[in-house]
Amino acid sequence: MMGRLAVAILMLSLASCSQQEGLTYQLYRSSAEGERMSLVSEEEPSQEEALSWSIFPDTSYQEIRGFGGAFTESSAHLWTRLNPSLQEELIQAYFSDSGAAYNMARTHINSCDFSLGSYDYLEGPDTSLSSFSLEPDREDIIPMIKAAQGVRSDIQIIASPWTAPPFMKDNQDWFGGRLKPEFYSLWAQYFVKYHQAMQEEGIDIWGYTVENEPLGNDANWESMHYTPEEMAEFIKGHMGPQFDSAGIDAAILTYDQNRGEELEEWAEVLLTDTALLPYIYGTAVHWYTSTYDWFPKSLNHTHTLAPQKGIIQTEACVDAEVPHWNDDAWYWKKEATDWGYDWAKPESKYLHPKYVPVFRYARDIIGSMNSWVEAWVDWNMLLDPQGGPNHVKNWCVAPVLADTTTQELYYTPLYDVMRHFSTFIPRGSVRVGHSELPEEMMALTVKRPDNSLIVVLLNTGVESSSLKVDVYDKNLTLEVPPASIQTLIVN
């Protein structure tokens, strides 16, 4: 696999430009036909049959913060069991400019489902927090983060707890339950301890979500429930003031669960609380409510309630699946299922049909960013061929898979999908407008800080099309193959 990755990286670094009608451009394509970030240099689309489509560079929306994945214990554990050469390859593949150029990341405070077991950073029920130590993360998560920082220094990391230590909860358990009100202050101090301990390791945490999935997960793994009112009280009465007192300038994100009606309900409470707003950066969301719908209504409503606050996608993955190893074609087939179908109410099961993994990723990134999401963070960066390790057997798929026995890495087509966005859209880019496309096509259009334009174009249809792109009173015509994703760079 190293050979194919090396060729792809070299191609990106040495790619030449094409010209049409005075526009200089580059075009990269991945498709169900086997193309993987291939440079498209010479094509002659049919001008007569081309569909006219316009980009509006002067119509600006949100600034893009970035793209990334998660440093889970599972991912980091596997990474430490790769040989040094493969460790370096993976870090370069995700974080270098010639790789995916990730500039966002997420990690967990205490354990999560993608840990080897349940743990926290204390020795027993220590209400003084004097025993607080990051020791459980020193063998894997911390070294992997430091390796990534060695390649890219501007990674913005979001840290999320799945649960407080059980002694702080009403059910005295890792799974389920609520934080006892008498421990709100101590739990806020725990965040402060974590932030300061990570700083001592040379790791600055950019932001925090208060709780991963506060609506719970039926107590199947680490979790802790909040109502929106409880979360608001915890932030404005404890976490926010304690961050201020400790001099911690970190973003606080609310919610951190799925889009849809629940997001709107939480946003109505949290984003209209004038005492809370000064403490929060915005809202975190996940994608698991549907395998095809990104819920633009709920995202747009969240933005409208507080336009000055951000929306960040903090987790997404292909779940309920054991990964398909060295099988690129599967990731382009409509065969994937999700856990959501199992837990959805009968009237909501229509939201969870089988889906094409590549399409789901690309549709969600394009759709959510066209609905005010400013950053899109994937879940595990690395998993094994079983979809773990995972101490509750919640198997999932990651963009890169590792067989530590044979010392092999498999870069799935999901890695390519992420690169179509992350490699070409740096922090500080701004989403710009465009005209409508046929139903089977979607596009994200952004202007980079250097004023070049990026178009990420998805075609989920079964027919090839020609597209005449109008921009700056000039145009170029592109071939749009079926089942393809393309990134166009226009200078």
Catalytic residues: 213, 315
- 3-class DSSP state of 277: helix
Domains within the chain, CATH numbers bracketed? 2-61+431-490 (2.60.40.1180), 65-427 (3.20.20.80)
Query: Would you tell me how many other CB atoms lie within 10 Å of the CB of residue 409?
Result: 20
pLDDT of residue 12: 56
- What pTM was estimated for this model as a whole? 0.96
Indicate the pLDDT class of residue 47, thresholds 50, 70 and 90.
Answer: low
The percent of residues in the chain predicted with pLDDT above 70, rounded, is 95
Residues 336-369: b if buried by 16+ CB within 10 A, e if exposed: bbbbbbeebeeeeeebbeebbbbbbbbbbbbbbb
**pLDDT above 50 for 14:** no
**pLDDT above 70 for 13:** no
**Can you read off the two tokens belonging to residue 107?**
């990690």
Taking only the tens place, the pLDDT of each residue in 219-270 is 999 999 999 999 999 999 999 999 999 999 999 999 999 999 999 999 999 9
Query: Would you tell me how many other CB atoms lie within 10 Å of the CB of residue 124?
Result: 8
Cα 316 to Cα 157: distance, rounded to the nearest angstrom: 16
**pLDDT above 50 for 80:** yes
What is the CA angle 63-65-68, rounded to 5? 150
Cα 139 to Cα 111: distance, rounded to the nearest angstrom: 14
Cα 423 to Cα 291: distance, rounded to the nearest angstrom: 25
**DSSP class of 329:** G
- 3-class DSSP state of 149: helix
Which residue is it, tokens 């990269």?
28
**pLDDT above 50 for 6:** no
16/188: higher pLDDT: 188
**pLDDT above 50 for 319:** yes
Cα 165 to Cα 488: distance, rounded to the nearest angstrom: 48
Cα 428 to Cα 365: distance, rounded to the nearest angstrom: 17
Burial of 134 from C-beta contacts in 10 A (0-12 / 13-18 / 19+): middle
408 phi and psi, to 5 degrees?
-125, 145
pLDDT of residue 3: 40
Report the mean per-residue pLDDT for the chain.
Answer: 96
Cα 392 to Cα 163: distance, rounded to the nearest angstrom: 15
- Judge whether 63 and 374 are in contact, CB under 8 Å: yes
Q: Per-residue pLDDT averaged across 82-104, rounded? A: 99
**DSSP class of 167:** G
**Can you read off the two tokens belonging to residue 462?**
């079964």
Q: Per-residue pLDDT averaged across 379-400, rounded? A: 98
**Can you read off the two tokens belonging to residue 411?**
């870069």
pLDDT of residue 165: 99
Q: Are strands 441-447 and 430-434 parallel, antiparallel or unpaired?
A: antiparallel
Q: Per-residue pLDDT averaged across 298-321, rounded? A: 98
> Among residues 262, 361, 265, 274, which one has the least CA distance to residue 309?
274
Indicate the pLDDT class of residue 21, thresholds 50, 70 and 90.
Answer: low
274/3: higher pLDDT: 274
pLDDT of residue 48: 62
- Judge whether 474 and 57 are in contact, CB under 8 Å: no
- 3-class DSSP state of 201: coil
Q: Are strands 375-380 and 310-315 parallel, antiparallel or unpaired?
A: parallel
- Judge whether 272 and 301 are in contact, CB under 8 Å: no
Q: Are strands 465-471 and 430-434 parallel, antiparallel or unpaired?
A: unpaired
- Judge whether 116 and 77 are in contact, CB under 8 Å: yes
Which residue is it, tokens 């193959």?
481
- The answer, yes or no, to whether the previous bond of 481 is cis (omega within 30 of 0) is no
